[in-house]
Structure 1
Amino acid sequence: MTATILFVDDEPDLEALILQKFRRQIRDGQLALMFARDGIEALEALEQNPHVDMVVSDINMPRMDGLSLLAKLQEAEEKKSTIIVSAYGDMSNIRTAMNRGAFDFLTKPIDFADLETTIQKTIRHVEMLRDVRQRQAEAERAHAALSRHFSPQLAKRLAASGESDGIEVQWREVATIFTDITGFTSLVESAPPETLGMLLNEYVGGMTEIAFTHEGTVTKIIGDAIQVLFNAPGDQRDYATRAVACAHDLDVWAEAFSARWRARGVSFGTTRIGVHAGPALVGNFGGNRFFDYTAYGDTINIAARLEAANKQLGTRICVSATVAKEADNFRGRPVGELMLRGRSEPLRAFEPLPQQKFEAPETAQYSEAFAKMEAGDAAAMPAFAALVGMHADDPLAGFHLKRLLNGAKGIRMQLE
């Protein structure tokens, strides 16, 4: 590193003397020297040469003295390390200089061995500050990248520590949430760009905040679609419980959001949510230049298929039996055995319910009708018909009734 030093002094012979004393360091590329005759000239030089590393300034100079220059330097965003030179015994000015932020001081007449030692000490200080700033900038860049995926607390910890444990690609047991919005393509085509931008920013921001509240990791945001992981990158023993709770809160927030925008004349669709748990390949797939923490595997694909299944089922949240089994105190009702697109084996699914709806009489009535349907009992059809008659706003019950009326039997169903 070549250290650039600005000497500020009005003595006419000082420049030649300094250049002579430091000729070897200048020749070897260790030092680059600049000179100014007073504080005003020094400020002009610094404005044109912001790369200057340190300033060595006399106190008594015309137009602007060294103490005034020091005050100006301390006001700058990037403060220059400054050595103040004063007459021997002028402790009052030296004390003022140190109080104003001078790094060190020298007395006149200058002892050049002392000057060289002080300069080397200051250079080490400058290098240390530069290293700290660089690491801080890197941490801020890392934090900005990590904040796209992780909750603020986790992003701050990862950025500050630089730890890679859990960030590297690895197989992990995870729970994953997929969300999507019905009719979003039509909205994109019809809404003014400024409205669409405001709407989508508010929606994605709100959904992401909820995911972070549950300490989920947001791995993808593609337009209106959001993917959230639990148990990655850190361990969360209750990851299935977190996923279900997060899905409930996402649903509540999205419904309120949709209602707010409908009141403003914007038709915002329903948010559909799919949740599944299992092994997935998780980590940063962006290489060294682009941070892209995401997940791949059958577990991820199933969650996406469950999200899409809501469209036919009439539900807003659909979770796999794996999640329902792993989540603490899961409350919900069975949907059936779904033959999802691209899969040869059926997947048992559930609709999670909030506490009040789970304890409502119609949920028990639904469970009884579903048990009859699972057993192949012909009484399933009138049981669902009675349920729909009393609760026409139950789309899942209506879905099963329509299946039975069309001749379907049992709880296994093929979804497109």
Structure 2
Amino acid sequence: MMAKILVVDDEADMELLIKQKFRRKIRDNTYEFVFAQNGAEALEKLHDHPDLDIVLTDINMPVMDGLTLLTKLPETNPIIKTVIVSAYGDMENIRTAMNRGAYDFVCKPVDFEDLELTVNKTLQHVTQMRNTLQAIKENNILKMYVDESVLSFMTHQEFENSLLVNESVEATVMFIDICGFTAIAEQVSANEVVNLLNSMFDLMVHEIIEQGGRIDKFLGDAVMAVFRGNYHLDRCVEAALAVRKKLGSFEQKLAGGTVYKPQVSIGINAGDVISGNIGSASLRRLDYTVIGDAVNVAQRLQSMAQPGQIVITNTSCEKIKESFICKPIGELKLKNKEKPVMTYEVLE
């Protein structure tokens, strides 16, 4: 990985010396140097090059000196580290520089072998800081999506041993698709698409969780949810009705003045599913999900549902007909099914 270094010095020959002494590093794309003649110009360079790793700066310069520059760096780039390269190597200047955040101090005339060792040491420190911040960021993102008890569990050896443990369970699977969203996505900006989609997903998720369901995955502009436990089919249908009602009252004004009013098509099916971690254990990329015929049927019912429809099979209808009003749709030919399946639409 190439390191990017800002050299701040008003001496004209300093840039030439740096390019000469580090020519191999520059040629090999190990180092890239950016140059400035004073602290004020250095701040402009930092703004233009936010990926800088190190600053090598003199102390005595016009417009803005190196010690003043040190006080400005934290608000510009808190990760970057500074090495003072100056002829003013007295203890007072060294202490002032260190107190203002300098990482190290190299005296002029410059011993370039010593400077290279100092740069390498500083780069290692910057890399460690970046890695630590990345780990913190990833951990915080993980906490957004994973229960605390699961995070605790993941730190134990049982996690390694249970990655491929599967079970067969009875559950209800629901697929919800936002009708015609692809066409809308082609008309507005990427940010607007994502914000709009996330707003609708938030509404769906609330209703699904309210009925004890679990979001299995987001599939583009669709959601797959799973319900387990007592009355899982009834609770799933309740959630579907709530999602349809909530999305029915949702509207968003888009750029250009268009008002978007979404509709959803929903497929629901109950049955035995296999629940487990599907994916590659060696890559640690597994998706805790459910698979099986019941899942496939639910997805195919959704694909055949019209906007606003909640489609179920006759088997599901028999189980919920005392609690919900259902209307026959008719027999539908589903992929990989020898015989047509009688389907119903849940009205309320």
Band the TM-score falls in, shorter-chain normalisation = 0.5 to 0.7
Deviations 1:23-56 (A, max 9, x none): 6655666444454331233344445555543111
The match for 1:102 is: 102
Instruction: Give the whole-Å Cα distance in 2 for the aligned partners of 1:298 and 1:222.
Output: 22
Alpha carbons of structure 1 residues 306 and 57: separation in structure 2 relative to 1, 3 Å: closer
Q: CA deviation at 1:83?
A: 1.0
Instruction: Give the whole-Å Cα distance in 2 for the aligned partners of 1:292 and 1:115.
Output: 49
Select the residue among 224, 229, 236 that pairs with 1:227: 224
Structure 1 gaps of 5+ residues are 187-192, 231-238, 319-337, 341-346, 358-393, 400-413
The match for 2:273 is: 278
Instruction: Give the whole-Å Cα distance in 2 for the aligned partners of 1:227 and 1:35.
Output: 54
Aligned-residue sequence identity (percent) comes to 32
Alpha carbons of structure 1 residues 100 and 277: separation in structure 2 relative to 1, 3 Å: farther
Work out whether residues 234 and 320 of structure 2, in 8 Å CA contact, stay in contact via their aligned partners in 1. Answer: no
Select the residue among 319, 325, 334 that pairs with 1:350: 319
Q: Is 1:253–2:242 an aligned residue pair?
A: yes
Select the residue among 145, 153, 163 that pairs with 1:152: 145
Instruction: State the AA in 2 paired with 1:64.
Output: M
In the TM superposition, what are the counterparts of 1:385-400 in structure 2 within 5 Å? Answer: 395=325
Alpha carbons of structure 1 residues 339 and 31: separation in structure 2 relative to 1, 3 Å: closer
Instruction: State the AA in 1 paired with 2:125.
Output: H
Instruction: Give the whole-Å Cα distance in 2 for the aligned partners of 1:200 and 1:15.
Output: 51
Instruction: Give the whole-Å Cα distance in 2 for the aligned partners of 1:96 and 1:395.
Output: 79
Identify the structure with the greater strand proportion. Answer: 2
Alpha carbons of structure 1 residues 95 and 279: separation in structure 2 relative to 1, 3 Å: same
Q: CA deviation at 1:103?
A: 2.5
Instruction: Give the whole-Å Cα distance in 2 for the aligned partners of 1:212 and 1:46.
Output: 47
Instruction: State the AA in 2 paired with 1:69.
Output: L
Work out whether residues 178 and 227 of structure 1, in 8 Å CA contact, stay in contact via their aligned partners in 2. Answer: yes
Select the residue among 202, 206, 231 that pairs with 1:205: 202
Other structure's SS at 2:242 match = helix
TM-score, normalised by the number of residues in structure 2: 0.57
Q: CA deviation at 1:270?
A: 10
Instruction: Give the whole-Å Cα distance in 1 for the aligned partners of 2:59 and 2:275.
Output: 67
Work out whether residues 171 and 279 of structure 1, in 8 Å CA contact, stay in contact via their aligned partners in 2. Answer: yes
C-alpha RMSD over aligned residues: 5.8
TM-score, normalised by the number of residues in structure 1: 0.50
The match for 2:346 is: none
Q: Is 1:177–2:186 an aligned residue pair?
A: no
Q: CA deviation at 1:57?
A: 0.6
Work out whether residues 82 and 103 of structure 1, in 8 Å CA contact, stay in contact via their aligned partners in 2. Answer: yes
The match for 2:257 is: none
The match for 1:364 is: none
Q: Is 1:415–2:342 an aligned residue pair?
A: yes
Work out whether residues 276 and 302 of structure 1, in 8 Å CA contact, stay in contact via their aligned partners in 2. Answer: no
Identify the structure with the greater helix proportion. Answer: 1
Instruction: Give the whole-Å Cα distance in 2 for the aligned partners of 1:118 and 1:79.
Output: 17
Instruction: Give the whole-Å Cα distance in 2 for the aligned partners of 1:43 and 1:259.
Output: 52
Instruction: Give the whole-Å Cα distance in 2 for the aligned partners of 1:305 and 1:29.
Output: 53
Work out whether residues 172 and 268 of structure 2, in 8 Å CA contact, stay in contact via their aligned partners in 1. Answer: no
Instruction: State the AA in 2 paired with 1:152.
Output: Y
Q: CA deviation at 1:82?
A: 1.2
Alpha carbons of structure 1 residues 8 and 185: separation in structure 2 relative to 1, 3 Å: closer
Deviations 1:252-287 (A, max 9, x none): 7347637857xxxx99799775443333687359xx
The match for 2:70 is: 70
Q: CA deviation at 1:71?
A: 3.3
